[in-house]
Amino acid sequence: MSAFTLRGPRVLDEAGGFRGPLDIRVVNGRIDRLAADLPVDPEFPDQDYAGTYLLPGIFDVHVHAMTNSADAMELLRTPITYRVAETLAALKRTLLAGVTSIRDAGGLDAGIRDALARGLAEGPQAQVSVVALSQTGGHGDGFLAGPGWEMSNEYMTPDYPGRPAGVVDGVDEVRRAVRQNVRAGADWIKLLVTGGVMSAGDGQFDEQFSPEEIAVAVSEATRRAVPVMAHALGGPALRTAVEAGVRSIEHGLWLTEEDAALMAEKGTYLVPTLTIYRQLADAALLGALPGAVATRAKAAGDVLGEAVRIALAAGVPIALGSDFAHRNDHGHNLREIPLLHRAGLSPEQALLAATVNGARLCGVDGDVGRLVEGQRFDAVVLEQDPGDLSLFERPEGVSGVFQNGRAVKTRS
C-alpha cells in the first residue's frame, strides 16, 4: 500500500478558488481524506506542503503528441520508429509540465495510449482519435503533387500498417472510416469540417465535408458510443457540426452569437486553442510563413479571443487545448491558461477550464479532474498563489506533479 498525507496546501475548489490550508491523505493513488487538521498517523507519513497551492492535474484536450515538426521534408524522411521515440519524449515533457491527461486530436494511436496506461512509458493518461478525417483536398489531405502521391492525414503521421486512411469522401467512405477508427481503438472521432491556417491549399476557411457526410460520421460514432470532435473555424460547417451533435468544436475562431447560443443549448464545448494561433499570427507578422498560410494566420490573429468572449457570454463550456504539434512546444502546454484569462475568463474560470471542464468533456470527471475525496490524485503543485496566472507562461512555474498518487516531478 502506498499512503501519505500532504500537510497544509491550499487546494483548488469547485468554484476555482483556493481553500485551506488543508491536509490531503492519499491512499493507493486516490484521495482518501481531505480536511483541515487530519490527525497524525504513522501509517500515512506526513509531507510538508505548507504554503503551496494545489491544482488537479491539467487536461490538455487538443494536442498532437505524435507530431514534432512542421517541416514536411523532415517528416517525410523520418522513420516511424524515431517518431514514436520522439513522441514518448514529448509525452514525458508534457506530463512534467503538469498535464496529467490529454485528448489527442489526431496522430496518436491506441498502441501508445495503452503503453502509457500500462506504465511502459511516462506520460499523461491519453484519449486518442487515431486519424483525423478529411475530405479530398481538405485540411488533412497531404497530397504531394510532384510525385502524385496520396498522403492521408497530412504529414503528421505517415500511413503505417493497421492505421486507417484519413482522407475519405461520400457517406459510405465516411461511415467506413469511422468504423475503422473505432476498430483501431479510437476514443474520439475527429472531423475536419473547415480549412485551417496550415492547410496545404490556397483556400480560406471553407466548408469541408457535406452536411450528409458530417451527419453520418456523428450518427455512426454515436451508435458506437464514441464522441466526435470537429475542427471548425467558423461558417456553416461549424453550425452543421453542432447541429449534428459533435461534443466539441475545436478552434471556432469565427464563432457567431447564434452558433454559441446553439452550443450552449446542446452542451457543446469550445476548445479555443489560443496559443497556437498567437504563435502563427506572430510568425506571419515576422514574415516567417508562406503566402496563403501567412494571410490566414494574420486573419486568425485579428479575431483571436473574440470567440471566447462570445462563448462565455452565451454560457458555452470551455476547455483548455494547446493544439501543440512541435518539439519546441510540447511541455509548454500551460501557456494556454494565461491566454484564456486574457481572452476574458476570470482566473477561476481559466483554472476550471484547464481541469474539471476537460475531465467533463472527456467523460472522466467522476474519476479525475477535481481534488475531492474518492478521486485519483493527479495534481500540480505551485509554490505561490497563481494570481494573474502569468506563472504558467514558464514550465518552471510548476514545482511538482503527481500522477495516480505518485510524485512524477518532485519539488526541489
Of the pair 25, 251, the CB lying nearest Zn ion is at 251
Task: Kindly state whether residue 329 participates in binding Zn ion, applying the rule CB under 5 A.
Answer: no
Q: How far is the CB of 62 from Zn ion (least distance, A)?
A: 6
Q: How far is the CB of 103 from Zn ion (least distance, A)?
A: 11
In 3D, which of 90, 83, 302, 332 has the Cα closest to residue 197? 302
List 34, 75, 105, 221, residue binding Zn ion (CB under 5 A)? 105
Q: Which of 104, 190, 329, 409 is flagged as catalytic? A: 190
| Cα–Cα dist 159/103, whole Å | 21
Question: How far lies 168's CA from each of 37, 208, 302, in Å?
Answer: 59, 11, 32
Residue from 86, 207, 323, 378 binding Zn ion (CB under 5 A): 323
Question: Closer to Zn ion at the Cβ: 32 or 323?
Answer: 323
Q: Which string of b and e fits 271-284 if b means at least 16 CB within 10 Å?
A: bbbbbbbbbbbebb
In the bound state with Zn ion, the residue whose beta carbon lies nearer, of 100 and 273, is: 273
How far is it, in rounded angstroms, from Cα 350 to Cα 255? 19
- For residue 377, the minimal CB distance to Zn ion (Å) is 30
- Measured from the CB atom, the residue of 105 and 226 that comes closer to Zn ion is 105
Q: What is the closest distance, in whole angstroms, from the C-beta atom of residue 276 to Zn ion in the complex?
A: 8
| Nearest to Zn ion of 7, 190 (CB atom) | 190
Distance between CA atoms of 296 and 313, rounded to whole angstroms? 26
Q: Considering the complex, what minimum distance in angstroms separates the CB of residue 36 from Zn ion?
A: 43
The long-range contacts involving 38-47, CB below 8 angstroms and separated by at least 24 positions, are 38/5, 41/5, 43/3, 44/3, 44/4, 44/5, 45/3, 45/4, 45/5, 46/4, 46/5, 46/7, 47/4, 47/5, 47/6, 47/7
34 in Cβ contact with 294 (< 8 Å) = no
Of 55 and 132, which has the nearer Cβ to Zn ion? 132
Could you tell me which stretch among 22-30, 140-148, 293-301, 323-331 binds Zn ion (CB under 5 A)? 323-331
Using the contact rule CB under 5 A, the part of the chain among 104-112, 162-170, 345-353, 403-411 near Zn ion is 104-112
The residue count for binding Zn ion (CB under 5 A) is: 2
Alpha carbon 61 to chain centroid, angstroms: 2
Stretch that binds Zn ion, among 32-40, 238-246, 308-316, 321-329 (CB under 5 A): 321-329
Cis peptide before 9 (omega within 30 of 0): no
- Return the range that interacts with Zn ion (CB under 5 A); candidates 40-48, 73-81, 320-328, 396-404: 320-328
First-to-last C-alpha distance (Å) of the chain: 25
Q: Among residues 109 and 323, whose Cβ is nearest to Zn ion?
A: 323
13 is catalytic: no
Does residue 266 have an active-site annotation?
Answer: no
Cβ closest to Zn ion, residue 105 vs residue 310: 105
Which grid coordinates belong to 97? 509540465
Measured distance CA(108)–CA(378) in Å, rounded: 22
Residue 30 main-chain phi, psi, to 5 deg: -120, 155
How far apart CA 280 and CA 396 sit, in angstroms, is 24
Rounded CA separation 355/59 (Å) = 5
Contact assessment for residue 318 and residue 311, using Cβ atoms and an 8 Å cutoff? yes
Please tell me the distance from the alpha carbon of residue 310 to that of residue 257, in angstroms, as a whole number: 6
CB of 187 to Zn ion, least distance (A): 16
Largest Cα span, the chain: 71
Please report the DSSP string for 83-117 in residue order.
Answer: HHHHHHHHHHHHHHTTEEEEEESSS--HHHHHHHH
Q: Least Å distance between CB 151 and Zn ion?
A: 17
Instruction: Output the smallest distance, CB 323 to Zn ion, in A.
Output: 4
Q: Which of these, 296, 295, 298, lies nearest to 282 by C-alpha position?
A: 298
**Interacting stretch for Zn ion, rule CB under 5 A, among 187-195, 210-218, 289-297, 316-324?**
316-324
Of 37-45, 77-85, 99-107, 236-244, the window that binds Zn ion (rule: CB under 5 A) is 99-107
Catalytic residue among 323, 329, 378, 409: 323
Catalytic amino acids?
190, 323
- Point out which residues bind Zn ion (CB under 5 A): 105, 323
